[in-house]
Amino acid sequence: MDVLSVEGLTVDFLTAEGQVRAVNDVSFTVPENRTVALVGESGSGKTVISQTIMGLLPSAAQITSGKVMLSDPTGAEPPVDIATLDRKGPKMRHLRGNRVAIIFQEPMTSLSPLHTIGDQIGEAALLHRDVGGAEARELTQEMLRLVHFPDPKRGLDAFPFELSGGLRQRAMIAMAMICHPALLIADEPTTALDVTIQAEILKLIRDVQDELKMSVLMITHDFGVVANMADEVVVIYHGRIMEKGTAGQLFSNPQHDYLKALLNAVPSFNMDRDERLVPIRPIEVKSGDLKRGRAECAVPPGAPLVELRNVTKRFTSRKGGLFSSNAATMTALDQVNLTIRRGECLGVVGESGSGKTTAAKAILRAIDIDDGTVAYNHGDGLSDIAKLRGPALMDYRRRVQLIFQDPFSSLNPRMTVNDILTEPLQIHGIGTPAEQAERARSLMMLVGLDPRFLRRYPHSFSGGQRQRIGIARALALNPEFILCDEPTSALDVSVQAQILNLLQDLKRDLNLTYLFVSHNLAVVDYIADRIAVMCRGRVVEVGETREVVSNPLHPYTKALLSAVPEPDLDNRLDFSVLDANRASEPSVWPEPFGLADGVAPVLVEMEPDHFVCAPGLQDVRAFEGTAA
Amino acid sequence: MLIYIIRRIFLMVPTLLVISFLTFFIIELPTGDYISNQIAALKASGEQSSIAKLEFLRKEFALDRPFFERYLIWVGLWPGPHGFDGLLQGNWGWSFEFDKPVSEVVGPTLPLTVLLNFATILFVYVVSFPIGIYSATRQYSWGDYGFTFLGYIGLATPNFLLGLILLYLFNRWFGLSVGGLMAPEYIDQPWSVDKALSVLAHLIVPTIVIGTSGTAAMIRRLRANLLDELHKQYVTTGRAKGLKENHLLIKYPLRMALNPFIADIGNLIPSMVSGSVIVSVVLNLPTVGPVLLSSLQSQDQFLAGFILLFVAVLTLIGMLISDLLLAVLDPRIRLGGRAAQ
């Protein structure tokens, strides 16, 4: 029996420019107790479909044709066509939160900060389940236990800002589940979460589905999530369904060109070292203009270019006023040792709060470090960057550039692309205005954009194009070393492949060195020569990429790798082993990896050029040298 | 919570000290003082006889001492010509212009000023609250445009003009006496029910006149805040639970939009006092506004200093109230410390 069946659904938006068709003749079904994945990139109309089912379409949208039938598998209520219901009427309200429920992408913003978790979850029960306040509280506590809240009773009175992202998403799931809906819509439920938390939440959705026998419509762009969760898959592009079928069919034998292209654009661990992703719209790098007159880096390939020695950074948060001073200190970087070799791409992976961005900022000298040194090789040996002043510092700023994570907020909306690209040149006083304009044109060509776009403002570009402008800006000063801070995490998979290939080509053509910060292990595996894994401000494992991925030695690296959902049906996550390891807690790592507070995170070379943080082995094979 | 309140009240002491110092410093910025100006004027007209008396007064009020000593004597932290005798001891100083103690000059006007301020703030909040909510939830409707238009008129019309028009209309329609805060026959009479009613009736026009611009600004602010909140994810979450629109609005976005609304209580007070000077003159209101203006003009320093300090105290109390209300309403403020630990 199909819990949801969408037939010929067409949704139009009435905008100032006329009618825009967001969803075009879409039909699919969600069978009872099954998970259907709705896969598409941003702008494909997948969120509009979820809004249609929830009756949450904005007032500018109208259902032009089609049916959205919702049937209750228990038979308690007759099937209804949601498309015909008044969106704000009592019938739709009766379904929302009761028979169909939704969880959103952003657990940080989808709960009200002013109300307790218990209040917000229990509200749905009060509305639909005909219970009093005390009973609702009871039910809420029961739900919190079901979603594995550590202390359900205390959780009732907690405010969202007191909880981590993972716990908030658990609370959202509890809220959606409290009325035992027939259908759960999960709109990118794990996109904003760290990979280990993502695995836990996916497992939780699975468990709750088994327990309550409901159907799930999983909206996602992540094929890893699809492969691990979905029974059936619907691929949507520009409001039309491209292909649908069981997960087995689609992964083993994709028919439609779009799906094939999409699958080719996803990085995975079993790719060959020299295998390249195939983006849907590849970019041709034209680096000829830029190579002319480029000052080559004087450091020989493979020699240390940047070296972090026992770098420590503490953040102090002061709470309270004049009469109280309880300072809380947080160690963001704990004696970090890292070497970036000339010409390589060093990937830094870790979950949020692991200190990877702080490390990048320390290298940029955007923050001052409390202890240790960051040394840079200008061609005449390593020298401490903390001592750079005046012109020497400006020279360092020219050599080291940054590519940001968010292509939307990192470009000034009031500056034209031309202003954005020539600003670094003006700051450093390089070239005449005519030369600067010429440079801006060749930078645009370099990243595959038409130089005629120079007069436009950032808002007229897509996310991927903006990120290319950001890359062009970073290259304006002919840098030797580029820090990439999650440059693709805000982009769609097909655009991600395009940007990753662009970065690879630029590195090859311009002899660049990268530090690539990311939480996405598959991306780092694709682009990086060596990987450094960070956890709670410490480097726990460093080594050649293939070596670390195929032979992880540290328990945290193992946990991280085992939690990555692979876009491969033969390689599904083993949900049963996930629950046991809370691997991001240094004090519970087994010997010799255990790390109490105050113990130096010593790196030990356990395999050739493969270093692991293992204080227990310190005396056996003490780490000396600069290779890590 | 109790500790928070006590701490906030304790914090007001250093704030007040700093404010009093700044007030005194600014008032003393122009060269000379009230008496030396008088002496100069007398010297110019050749009258020597009164000068001796004025010189005596300068000594009497310690105007011949250095700046810091004068300040400390005024506050009451330093012995003056008559020992410790300053604000802390309850002596509000002497007004040279009126030749009376400050307490007698401002005494009768202070309660009326506080009353008028209170009424105006109440008016601002009571009027702007529903209109702001209406404008935000029915954005770009005729009602929204209408209130926006009215609001701009309220902001743009000179207050004294609005005051005169309203006085005329109230006089024509209700036979209300023109000007003042009570009918003429009650002035200097002991308080009675009729006098209180007369005061209330006379409060209406000044309250509206002084409050319009504040109301207009507040409507725009609430509208903007609420519009921001209405499109937040947690509102959709509430809707997805099946909440009714009105219930949803009141429980979630409105409560979030209240924060800036409440935080403004303290800021409103000084602008009301200083902004209502012209209105008070035109409407002949017995508030401290006009007194403050004339005392500043004639360098009647103790009078001006006291009034400024009084307004500062009112502001601090307003801020205390808004801080406490915020702590009650917003758990992030109340429990901020708990979450950080």
Identity of the amino acid at A75: G
pLDDT at A327: 59
- pLDDT above 70 as % of chain B: 96
Instruction: Give, as one character, the DSSP assignment of residue A336.
Output: E
For residues A422 and A92, what is the distance between their CA atoms, to the nearest angstrom?
Answer: 54
In this prediction, residues A548-553 reach a mean pLDDT of: 91
In this prediction, residues B198-202 reach a mean pLDDT of: 84
In the predicted structure, residue B30 carries a pLDDT above the cut 90? no
Q: Which of A471-485, A581-595, B236-250 has the lowest mean pLDDT?
A: A581-595
Question: Three-state secondary structure along A518-584?
Answer: ECCHHHHHHHCCEEEEEECCEEEEEEEHHHHHHCCCCHHHHHHHHHCCCCCHHHCCCHHHHCCCCCC
Query: Which residues, including other chains, have CB under 8 Å from residue B158's CB and lie 6 or more apart?
Result: none
Residue A120 banded pLDDT, cuts 50, 70, 90: very high
Identity of the amino acid at B157: T
For residues A72 and A183, what is the distance between their CA atoms, to the nearest angstrom?
Answer: 9
In this prediction, residues A266-286 reach a mean pLDDT of: 82
Interface residue ranges in chain B relative to chain A, Cβ cutoff 8 Å: 7, 10-11, 14, 232-234, 236-245, 251-252, 255-256, 329-332, 335-341
The upper half-sphere exposure of residue A586, i.e. CA atoms within 13 Å in the direction of its Cβ, equals 19
Closest CA to B238 of A97, A59, A144: A97
Q: How many CB pairs under 8 A join A and B?
A: 93
Q: Which residues of A touch B254 (CB under 8 A)?
A: none
Query: Which residues, including other chains, have CB under 8 Å from residue A53's CB and lie 6 or more apart?
Result: A4, A6, A68, A70, A82, A100, A183, A185, A217
Q: Which residues of B touch A172 (CB under 8 A)?
A: 237
CB atoms within 10 A of CB B326: 18
In the predicted structure, residue A216 carries a pLDDT above the cut 90? yes
Q: What is the pTM of this model?
A: 0.79
**Cβ distance of B10 and A56 shorter than 8 Å:** no
Using one digit for the tens of pLDDT, what is the confidence trace for A79-101?
889 988 888 888 899 999 889 99
The SS3 assignment for A512 reads coil
For residues A28 and A34, what is the distance between their CA atoms, to the nearest angstrom?
Answer: 13
Alpha helix segments (H runs only) across A147-246: 152-155, 165-177, 195-212, 223-229
- Looking at per-residue pLDDT, the higher value among A312 and B1 belongs to A312
Using one digit for the tens of pLDDT, what is the confidence trace for B84-112?
777 887 777 888 777 788 888 888 788 88
Question: Three-state secondary structure along chain B?
Answer: CHHHHHHHHHHHHHHHHHHHHHHHHHHCCCCCCHHHHHHHHHHHHCCCHHHHHHHHHHHHCCCCCCHHHHHHHHHCCCCEECECCCHHHCCCCEECCCCEEHHHHHCCHHHHHHHHHHHHHHHHHHHHHHHHHHHHHCCCCHHHHHHHHHHHHHHHCCHHHHHHHHHHHHHHHHCCCCCCCCCHHHCCCCCCHHHHHHHHHHHHHHHHHHHHHHHHHHHHHHHHHHHHHHCCHHHHHHHHCCCCHHHHHHHCHHHHHHHHHHHCHHHHHHHHHHHCHHHHHHCCCCCHHHHHHHHHHCCCHHHHHHHHHHHHHHHHHHHHHHHHHHHHHCHHHHCHHHHHC
Q: Which residues of B touch A120 (CB under 8 A)?
A: 237
Average pLDDT of every residue of chain B? 82
In this prediction, residues B253-277 reach a mean pLDDT of: 79
**Which among A96, A109, A115 is the nearest to B242, CB-wise?**
A96
- Looking at per-residue pLDDT, the higher value among A444 and B290 belongs to A444
For residues A110 and A163, what is the distance between their CA atoms, to the nearest angstrom?
Answer: 13
Interface test with B, best of A85, A98, A110, A318 (most B CBs within 10 A): A110
In this prediction, residues B229-243 reach a mean pLDDT of: 89
In the predicted structure, residue A278 carries a pLDDT above the cut 90? no
Residue B341 banded pLDDT, cuts 50, 70, 90: very low
pLDDT at B101: 84
Q: Where are the beta strands (DSSP E) in A172-303?
A: 183-187, 215-220, 232-237, 240-246
In this prediction, residues A396-424 reach a mean pLDDT of: 92
Chain B residue closest in CA terms to A92: B242
pLDDT at B155: 79
Residue A291 banded pLDDT, cuts 50, 70, 90: confident
Residue A578 banded pLDDT, cuts 50, 70, 90: low
pLDDT at A627: 44
Residues facing A69 on adjacent strands: A5, A81
Instruction: Give, as one character, the DSSP assignment of residue A613.
Output: E
Tokens of A245: 């079928």
**Cβ distance of A328 and B341 shorter than 8 Å:** yes
For residues A180 and A100, what is the distance between their CA atoms, to the nearest angstrom?
Answer: 9
Residue B340 banded pLDDT, cuts 50, 70, 90: very low
Using one digit for the tens of pLDDT, what is the confidence trace for A516-550?
999 888 899 999 999 999 988 899 999 999 899 99
Q: Which residues of A touch B11 (CB under 8 A)?
A: 321-323
In the predicted structure, residue B327 carries a pLDDT above the cut 90? no
In this prediction, residues A304-320 reach a mean pLDDT of: 81
Q: Which of A40-49, A115-124, A224-233, A477-486 has the lowest mean pLDDT?
A: A40-49
- pLDDT above 70 as % of chain A: 95
Residue A620 banded pLDDT, cuts 50, 70, 90: low
**Cβ distance of B234 and A109 shorter than 8 Å:** yes
The answer to whether ipTM exceeds 0.90 is: no
In the predicted structure, residue A423 carries a pLDDT above the cut 90? yes
Q: How far is A229 from chain B (nearest CA, A)?
A: 24
Average pLDDT of every residue of chain A? 87
- E strand or H helix at B229: helix B193-230
Tell me the helix, strand and coil percentages in chain A, rounded to 5.
35, 25, 40
Angle in degrees, CA A489, A493, A499, rounded to 5: 70
Using one digit for the tens of pLDDT, what is the confidence trace for A455-511?
999 988 888 899 999 999 999 998 999 999 989 887 888 889 999 999 999 998 888
Chain B residue closest in CA terms to A325: B337
Q: How far is A29 from chain B (nearest CA, A)?
A: 21
Q: How far is A179 from chain B (nearest CA, A)?
A: 10
**Which among B11, B233, B335 is the nearest to A109, CB-wise?**
B233
Angle in degrees, CA A30, A57, A240, rounded to 5: 55
Residues facing A532 on adjacent strands: A348, A542
- pLDDT above 90 as % of chain A: 38
Instruction: Give, as one character, the DSSP assignment of residue A96.
Output: B
Closest CA to A414 of A405, A427, A423: A423
Q: How far apart are the first and last CA of chain B?
A: 17
Chain mean position to CA B11: 21
Identity of the amino acid at A106: E
Pairing, β A538-544 against β A530-535: antiparallel
In the predicted structure, residue A184 carries a pLDDT above the cut 60? yes
Instruction: Give, as one character, the DSSP assignment of residue B80.
Output: B
Tokens of B193: 């029910």
In the predicted structure, residue A198 carries a pLDDT above the cut 80? yes
Q: Which residues of B touch A323 (CB under 8 A)?
A: 7, 10-11
Q: Which residues of A touch B328 (CB under 8 A)?
A: none
In the predicted structure, residue A323 carries a pLDDT above the cut 60? no
- E strand or H helix at A504: helix A493-510
Chain A residue closest in CA terms to B336: A319
pLDDT at A52: 93
Closest CA to B30 of B311, B301, B258: B301
In the predicted structure, residue A625 carries a pLDDT above the cut 60? no
Q: Are A456 and A315 in contact (CB under 8 A)?
A: no
Residue B339 banded pLDDT, cuts 50, 70, 90: very low
